[in-house]
Chains A and B, each alone.
Chain A
Amino acid sequence: MIDEDVPIGEDELQAYVDERLEGRRRAAVEAHLGRHPEQRDRIAAERRHRAALRGQLQTKAAEPIPARLRIANIQAARRQKAARRGALAAAGVALFLVGAMAGWVAKEEAPSFALSSAPPATVAKGATAAFRTFVVEVAHPVEVGAAQEEHLLQWLSKRLGRKLAAPDLTAFGFRLIGGRLLPAGSGAAAQLMYEDGTGRRLTLYVRATEGTETAFRFRKDGDAATFAWIDQGFGFAVTAVASRDELLPIAEAVYEGLTPKG
């Protein structure tokens, strides 16, 4: 028997929507809704919306956890970051000492690591624009595919006026899919594109530019992250939809891969 005199609260209706009522209270709410069709329709709609929302989001929770969110990887990155902070502090001291000495010893020749801020930003901007244009390309992401890697690199090297190698990024899950030639100011730029197993893409962008040498510069433009630097008259940029910490080791590997050994 259901007691019709017990009033029903809105909080109980909400608990009913959330499937959190049991036994007598649930029966009382159902009886109440039976007597009030307009409330019954509202609560039925709210229950339907709740179920639909759960259904829509179900696939998201069923996805495998991406590598970058595995706790072990986050802990390793934290340790690395701490170590790098230490190294950077040491490097800062060294730079200061070298700079002080250079300034004291030879005034006429500027030290080669003098940091001018404009060129890397220009390179990063060009790289980001090219990234946005071609990374979303499904049919023609590259002009020349990785199957003709040798031809691709010869061609790009000739047009750039610099020997270009394609750094090996398989350690990060990225493999070369090809490249293309792009206009850049009065000259040319080369874009090499990489892709990982999930279809995520990364580009390496190279163009001739002024300046001799700079440190890595980080730039985030929307979701596209870029590390850019200048080395011996060329600007380099590594761009991907990634976090700074994720992209830095890749940029370091690219830098290593491009620097002629010996």
Chain B
Amino acid sequence: MVDPPSLLEPLIPSLRRYAYALVREHAAADDLVQDTLERALSRWSSRRPDGDLRAWLFAILRNLHVGRHRQARRRGQAVAIDDAEPADPTADPGAMLEAHDVLAAVDQLPEEQKSLLLLVGVEDFSYDEAARILGLPVGTVMSRLSRARRRLRSILEKGPALLRRVK
């Protein structure tokens, strides 16, 4: 049997990316990834050996996040003091504005739509896998994906229009 480190470590960068996109705060995202890995290790023997490890980990992370989000809503959200976006100096300003807008706009979506856009659009999960991670039927995933993208577009179209008026 292959040992956990060599199976899990290649998946950490994409777990961190998903976690960061969900919580938008670097340290809290790494807390979430750490808890995910701890839970995965503690349940290592109970995972289905034929199941997809990557989808399993993303499902753990997402479930932890959803559970916490519920708690945080009850308690009131902590706000990060110092959490600037890393700027990419090679990107041209216009593209950067849009890139920033997209992540910020995704943040305004309900968690399920946000996760769907991230799992399918960024993490390249198949529609089947995304459905399993989110606990939805595949048909539902397709229609929700379409709805999420429509909503994202309407958020983004309102944003730049406002900027242009201010300018």
* Contact status of A57 and B21, CB under 8 A, knowing A69-B30, A223-B28: yes
Chain A residue with the shortest CB-CB distance to B21 = A57
- Compute how far the CA of A24 lies from the CA of B152 in the bound complex, rounded to whole angstroms: 29
Q: Which of B41, B117, B118, B120 contacts A75 (CB 8 A)?
A: B41
Chain A residues with CB under 8 A of B149: 14, 17, 46, 49
**Is the contact region of chain A dominated by helix, strand, or loop, or is it mixed?**
helix
Chain B residues with CB under 8 A of A72: 5
User: Using a CB-CB cutoff of 8 Å, which residues 2-50 of chain B contact chain A?
Assistant: 4-5, 8-9, 12-14, 16-17, 20-21, 25, 27-28, 30-31, 33-34, 37-38, 41-42
Q: Which of B13, B34, B106 contacts A68 (CB 8 A)?
A: B34
- Compute how far the CA of A219 lies from the CA of B121 in the bound complex, rounded to whole angstroms: 39
Chain B residues with CB under 8 A of A243: 31, 34
- Compute how far the CA of A74 lies from the CA of B42 in the bound complex, rounded to whole angstroms: 11
Contact A222 B13 (CB under 8 A): no
* Contact status of A56 and B103, CB under 8 A, knowing A11-B142, A69-B34, A74-B34: yes
- Compute how far the CA of A70 lies from the CA of B34 in the bound complex, rounded to whole angstroms: 9
Chain B residues with CB under 8 A of A65: 9, 12-13, 16
Chain B residues with CB under 8 A of A57: 17, 20-21, 103, 122
Q: What is the size, in residues, of chain B's interface with A at 8 Å between Cβ atoms?
A: 53
Chain B residues with CB under 8 A of A53: 99, 102-103, 106, 117-118, 121-122
> With an 8 A cutoff between CB atoms, is A55 at the interface?
yes
Contact B27 A69 (CB under 8 A): no
Chain B residue with the shortest CB-CB distance to A200 = B27
Chain A residues with CB under 8 A of B68: none
Name the residue in A11, A53, A56 with the highest tally of chain B Cβ atoms < 10 Å from its Cβ. Answer: A56
Chain B residues with CB under 8 A of A63: 13, 16
- Compute how far the CA of A72 lies from the CA of B20 in the bound complex, rounded to whole angstroms: 22
Chain B residues with CB under 8 A of A10: 142-143, 146
- Compute how far the CA of A57 lies from the CA of B21 in the bound complex, rounded to whole angstroms: 8
User: Using a CB-CB cutoff of 8 Å, which residues 107-146 of chain B contact chain A?
Assistant: 117-118, 120-122, 142-143, 145-146
Contact A61 B146 (CB under 8 A): no
Chain A residues with CB under 8 A of B4: 71, 75
Q: Which of A42, A45, A55 contacts B99 (CB 8 A)?
A: A55
Contact A50 B121 (CB under 8 A): yes
Shortest CB–CB separation between residue B126 and chain A, in angstroms? 8
Chain A residue with the shortest CB-CB distance to B100 = A56
Report A1-35 CB contacts with B as 1/0, cut-off 8 Å: 00000000011011001100000000000000000
> With an 8 A cutoff between CB atoms, is B161 at the interface?
no
Chain B residues with CB under 8 A of A66: 30
Chain A residue with the shortest CB-CB distance to B25 = A223
Chain A residues with CB under 8 A of B106: 53
* Given A53-B103, A69-B16, 12 extra CB contacts under 8 A: A14-B149, A45-B156, A46-B152, A49-B152, A49-B153, A53-B117, A53-B121, A57-B17, A61-B17, A70-B9, A72-B5, A222-B79
Chain B residues with a Cβ under 8 A of chain A: 4-5, 8-9, 12-14, 16-17, 20-21, 25, 27-28, 30-31, 33-34, 37-38, 41-42, 78-82, 85-86, 88, 91, 95, 98-103, 106, 117-118, 120-122, 142-143, 145-146, 149-150, 152-153, 156
